[in-house]
Amino acid sequence: MLLTTKDRPTRSAGGTVVPVLAFAGIVVAVMQTLLIPVIKDLPRLLDTSPSNATWVLTSTLLSGAVSTPIMGRLGDLYGKRKLLVVSLSVMVVGALVSAFSSALLPMIAGRTLQGFAMGAIPLGIGLMRDMLPRERLGSAMALMSSSIGVGGGLALPVAALVAQHSDWHALFYGAAGLGVVAIVLTLVLVPESKVRATGTFDLPGALGLSAGLVLFLLPITKGSDWGWTSGLTLGLFAGAAVTLLLWGVMELRLAAPLVDLRTTARPAVLFTNLASIMIGVSFFVVSLVLPQLLQLPTSTGYGLGQSMVTAGLLVAPLGLTMMLTAPVYARLSAKYGPRTTLIIGLLVIGTGYGAGLGLMTAAWQSLVISVLLGAGIGLAYSSLPALIIGAVPAEETGAANGLNTLMRSIGTSVSSAVIGMVLANTSNVVGGVAVPSMHGFRLSFLIATGAVAAGLVLALFLPRPDRAASQLRASSEEEANLAHAEEMLRGFRGRVLDAGGVPVPRARVTLIDRRGRRAGATLSAEDGSYALTVPSGGAYVLAAQAHGHAPLASSATHPGAHRAIDLDLSLPDGEPVSA
């Protein structure tokens, strides 16, 4: 994927960009999890079997897995903000389709459309990558990456409250309303990235990926009904294998594929992606099991007899803890690196599921499980973008993160299909209604524990970070950015110096236009050099600050011609500020 020279990242964005994009991610999470409080009632509400009802959740995750690379690629080609609005708009339409339906097939159709909102995650990460300065990028992407878990955890009690005291279709009206708010905020507060990729959209790749995933997930959910050794089940699995194999061969031969599989050749990328699938599997299991266990009546002998709202509140710490682990992740990652943070996260997840096998007899125990799993999943999810970015060149980060998001989506899709099948086929019939059994719950937790163990093994195979190589890569990228900045046709360049004329490295230089808005920002290189582009001619202020120096604000005017204006910035002596 190539970026056009005139549309390189500007690294300028207002302070509202990150919160708005994170809100869009939370809206996606709400859409994904809003039916979990009523999952045990779906067969009755839709007048269908438990295995068929599973597709109301699986269809959303499946379309999300497919739409992730589709929306990411279209965003690279035609504008990330534009496609973010499109994906949220499709979600709103899907929510309204589901709101007006109580039949299985229309509900699945609506939920499939809602799944397209999953494309908001890589699009949001792409917008952050294009606009934010490097020092803010890691924490912002960690927030965007974990917003799925945060929003999902927070949505559970609210969705439960609505479903318990109102018609369950109101959940979809609420999701549509949140989608409209996210669209408006995006249009008003998020600027469009000028970064564009060259090439065309890979329609055969999109169709091949969709077909392969459907052929794989369909026999997982229906295998027990059809028979695991039946010709239909085995034929669909074989068809999935052939389709995905041919799709992979085709993608490798294209200059501009839907999913750039070439990035998987690096061990760091390969093992991170495989671990991501396992994390995706483990993440969705708790959301499927705990709400049902908590709501089942005590007359079953193992149900905990809680209301929908109480069950949602007991599971909500899953998302709250994920949110609170963001600063913990930042400190751990800064000190030990994202590989170690990922391993710690997986160990915490494994502890949560392991403890959960013996903590299913009281409601308060679900709270303990939620906190442990939220902490572990938060650390693990936050580590993934940093691992990917550290393993690939700067020009490949978009494709690599898109592939990683796809792997996580495949993990959650497989989790929904497998756990739905397990619970449906281990259920007890009580009063003519299929009720999940304790055996099914424990088996689901065992599957999650196995997925976490596999993810931990994969994480241990990740290459240990080479600090010298990392510093060299960072230095090379910084030099390349400065070299490009110096080639820009219109802007300011120079060096940041102290009062004695000594270069000041890593000083923050901010460009402010005549309306007081930030028009750009950068950090000075080791020799004090900086370069900033201007959107147009006019009066500007260049504000510079660095640790150990007083800040400086220098007025300058750019004629608007295609030239770079040389301007050194001398930081005066005075009270130091933090860079």
Claim to verify: residue 218 and residue 134 sit in the same structural domain: yes
Residue 32 belongs to some domain of the structure: yes
Q: Which of 176, 75, 181 is nearest to 120 (CA)?
A: 75
Q: Which of 23, 28, 177, 157 is nearest to 99 (CA)?
A: 177
Residue 356 belongs to some domain of the structure: yes
For residues 201 and 395, which has the higher predicted lDDT (pLDDT)? 201
CA distances from 561 to 7, 244, 538 (A): 18, 52, 11
Q: Which of 4, 197, 174 is nearest to 99 (CA)?
A: 174
Reported pTM: 0.67
Claim to verify: residue 196 and residue 139 sit in the same structural domain: yes
Residue 215 belongs to some domain of the structure: yes
Distance CA 195, CA 127 (A): 9
pLDDT at 364 over 90: no
Residue 579 belongs to some domain of the structure: no
Share of the chain above pLDDT 70, in %: 84
CA distances from 19 to 16, 428, 436 (A): 6, 45, 39
Residue 427 belongs to some domain of the structure: yes
Claim to verify: residue 275 and residue 228 sit in the same structural domain: yes
Claim to verify: residue 48 and residue 185 sit in the same structural domain: yes
Looking at 430, 465, 500, the residue that finishes a domain is 465
Residue 475 belongs to some domain of the structure: no
Distance CA 509, CA 511 (A): 7
CATH code, domain with 521: 2.60.40.1120
User: Contact at 8 Å (CB) between 402 and 72?
Assistant: yes
Q: What is the pLDDT of residues 282-297, one digit of tens each?
A: 877 887 888 888 888 8
pLDDT band per the 50, 70, 90 thresholds, residue 134: low
Residue 459 belongs to some domain of the structure: yes
Distance CA 407, CA 276 (A): 6
User: Contact at 8 Å (CB) between 182 and 27?
Assistant: yes
pLDDT band per the 50, 70, 90 thresholds, residue 443: very high
* Count of the separate structural domains present in the chain: 2
Which of 171-180, 473-482, 486-495 is least confident? 473-482
In terms of C-beta density within 10 A (0-12 exposed, 13-18 middle, 19 or more buried), how is residue 330 classed?
A: middle
Looking at 420, 449, 465, the residue that finishes a domain is 465
Tell me what the mean pLDDT of segment 506-514 comes to.
Answer: 85
What does pLDDT average to over the chain?
79
For residues 478 and 158, which has the higher predicted lDDT (pLDDT)? 158
- Which DSSP letter does residue 503 get? B
Query: Which domain does 537 fall in, by range?
Result: 489-570
Three-state SS at 3: strand
pLDDT at 467 over 50: no
Claim to verify: residue 349 and residue 392 sit in the same structural domain: yes
Tell me what the mean pLDDT of segment 22-40 comes to.
Answer: 81
Claim to verify: residue 395 and residue 516 sit in the same structural domain: no
Claim to verify: residue 402 and residue 549 sit in the same structural domain: no
pLDDT at 553 over 80: yes
- Which helix (DSSP H) or strand (DSSP E) does residue 557 occupy? strand 552-558
Residue 499 belongs to some domain of the structure: yes
Claim to verify: residue 195 and residue 146 sit in the same structural domain: yes
Claim to verify: residue 324 and residue 450 sit in the same structural domain: yes
Kindly state the greatest CA–CA separation across the chain.
86
Structure tokens at 88: 């949220």
pLDDT band per the 50, 70, 90 thresholds, residue 182: very high
Q: What is the pLDDT of residue 396?
A: 59
